[in-house]
């Protein structure tokens, strides 16, 4: 049987793991505990592990990495490394897993938590070690309830080597490979959170705001843009509309409709020249926070299958693709009239 080598990397905590696996068995491994310089030591450590195992990079069939939650920098380092390997060796495949999946594998607990600081916790629910929800950011009060019900809490002193192998091998067996290595950040650095709160404001549907939203619609969605009559909804109960500003210039907005414990993301758009600067994410984060405060348990949205940037952003907030609507759009600005249905469960 042909040897199948897997290289597993985990850099999301101060403990860096590099594990080389052959046909499901560990060949070489190294843990560097309390390491604050993953960016400096990862490449050297990977090279050392491969040399000891007598393996060349082109023999690796699968590259696997932890995508978070955890350290922002640590997550980026691991993902960047695997993306680099995949670029050079495109025939290889990639597997991703979350830190909380490792915890569930180790403890067999249903509710798994990880301290996120500032009285917040990362949370993910499992059944028999398999994730049944996306990772979420929850308040300490909710985390305390789970802890009281015997939840497990991530501890950096635990050794996750065997769990790294078990989770990765299970995903390989199930052919659960990842086309995109999307980080699970869940939260932003404190400075960015404070900045986002300042630039996102509630829309009151003045005539000036409607004019500006119409311009954003036209620039963002072309043939699918809303017209003025579509904004005759300012007094609709359950509707929340937020705008985002740069230096007092209205550059984007988002709208969500709340009905009981569910919500529908109606629209979100940012002027093209201001995209990829975090403004869409700022609106999305504020809308999600608003929904949580209203005790919403699920948010649903539709997005054109051709709108790659939006899909990537939604996934970064924990949305998953739950279905598809054929010909949902009549004149999509993104080249595909079919829409994905995406859902975020809290």
What are the tokens at 303?
């997005």
- List C-alpha distances in Å: 197 to 8, 221, 303, 344: 38, 26, 25, 22
Residues in the chain, overall count: 346
- Domain 190-345 class, CATH top level: alpha beta
User: Residue 173 burial by CB count (10 A; 0-12/13-18/19+): exposed, middle or buried?
Assistant: exposed
- Residue 19 Rama label (left phi>0; alpha psi -120 to 50; beta): beta
CATH number of 5-173: 3.30.420.40
What per-residue confidence (pLDDT) applies to 229? 83
Residues forming CATH 3.40.630.30 domain(s) in the chain: 190-345
Long-range contacts of 54-57 (CB under 8 A, 24+ apart): 55/5, 55/20, 55/27, 57/85, 57/88, 57/89
Task: Flag whether the pTM goes above 0.85.
Answer: no
Q: How far apart are CA 62 and CA 322, in angstroms?
A: 27
Phi, psi of 143 (to 5 degrees): -60, -40
- pLDDT tens series, the chain, 346 aa: 356 899 999 999 999 999 999 999 999 999 999 987 899 999 999 999 999 999 999 999 999 999 999 988 999 999 999 999 999 999 999 999 999 999 999 999 999 999 998 888 999 999 888 888 778 888 888 899 999 888 999 999 999 999 999 999 999 999 999 988 888 876 655 656 666 667 899 998 889 999 999 999 999 988 888 888 888 765 567 889 999 998 889 999 999 999 989 999 999 999 999 988 888 988 998 999 899 888 899 999 999 999 988 998 888 787 889 999 999 998 888 888 999 999 988 7
Element holding 1 (H helix, E strand): none
Residues 6+ apart with CB under 8 A from 150: 109
What per-residue confidence (pLDDT) applies to 192? 60
Phi, psi of 315 (to 5 degrees): -60, -35
Three-state SS letters, 53-101 = HCCCHHHEEEEEEECCCCCHHHHHHHHHHHHHHHHHCCCCEEEEECHHH
Q: Which residue has the tokens 């509309």?
A: 241
149 closest CA partner among 112, 105, 116, 120: 112
Convert 20-44 to b/e letters by CB count within 10 Å (16 or more is b): bbbeeebbbbbebeebeebeebbee
Task: State the DSSP string of 246-267.
Answer: ETTEEEEEEEEEEETTEEEEEE
CA dihedral 58, 50, 35, 85 (to 10 degrees): 0
What per-residue confidence (pLDDT) applies to 235? 56
**Helices (H), ranges, the chain:** 38-53, 72-88, 99-107, 140-148, 161-173, 190-199, 207-221, 279-293, 308-316
Residues forming CATH 3.30.420.40 domain(s) in the chain: 5-173
Q: Contact, 285 vs 303, CB < 8 A?
A: no
């Amino acid at each position: 049987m042909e040897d199948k080598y897997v290289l597993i990397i985990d850099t999301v905590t101060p403990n860096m793991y590099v594990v080389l696996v052959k046909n499901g068995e560990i060949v070489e491994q190294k843990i560097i505990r309390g390491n604050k310089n993953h960016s400096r030591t990862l490449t050297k450590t990977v090279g050392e592990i491969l040399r000891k195992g007598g393996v060349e990079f082109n023999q690796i069939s699968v590259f696997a990495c932890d995508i978070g939650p955890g350290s922002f920098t640590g997550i980026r380092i691991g993902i960047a490394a695997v993306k680099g390997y995949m670029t050079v060796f495109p025939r290889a495949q990639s597997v991703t897993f979350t830190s909380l999946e490792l915890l569930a594998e180790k403890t067999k607990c249903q509710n798994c938590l990880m301290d996120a600081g500032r009285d917040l916790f990362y949370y993910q629910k499992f059944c028999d070690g398999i994730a049944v929800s996306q990772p979420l950011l929850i308040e300490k009060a909710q985390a305390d309830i789970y802890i009281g019900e015997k939840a497990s809490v991530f501890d950096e002193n635990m050794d996750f080597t065997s769990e790294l192998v078990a989770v990765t091998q299970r995903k390989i067996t199930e052919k659960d490979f990842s086309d995109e290595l999307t980080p699970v950040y869940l939260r932003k650095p404190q400075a960015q959170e404070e900045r986002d709160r300042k630039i996102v404001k509630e829309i009151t549907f003045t005539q000036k705001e409607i004019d500006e939203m119409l311009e954003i619609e036209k620039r963002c969605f072309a043939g699918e843009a809303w017209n003025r009559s579509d904004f005759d909804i300012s007094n609709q109960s359950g509707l929340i509309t937020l705008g985002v500003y740069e230096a007092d210039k209205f550059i984007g907005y988002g709208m969500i409709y709340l009905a009981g414990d569910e919500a529908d993301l109606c629209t979100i758009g940012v002027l093209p020249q201001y995209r990829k600067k975090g403004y869409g994410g700022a609106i999305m984060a504020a809308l999600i926070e608003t929904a949580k405060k209203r005790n919403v348990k699920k948010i649903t949205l539709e997005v054109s299958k051709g709108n790659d940037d939006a899909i990537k952003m939604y996934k970064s907030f924990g949305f998953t693709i739950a279905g598809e609507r054929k010909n949902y759009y009549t004149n999509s600005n993104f080249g595909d009239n079919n829409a994905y249905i995406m859902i975020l469960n809290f």
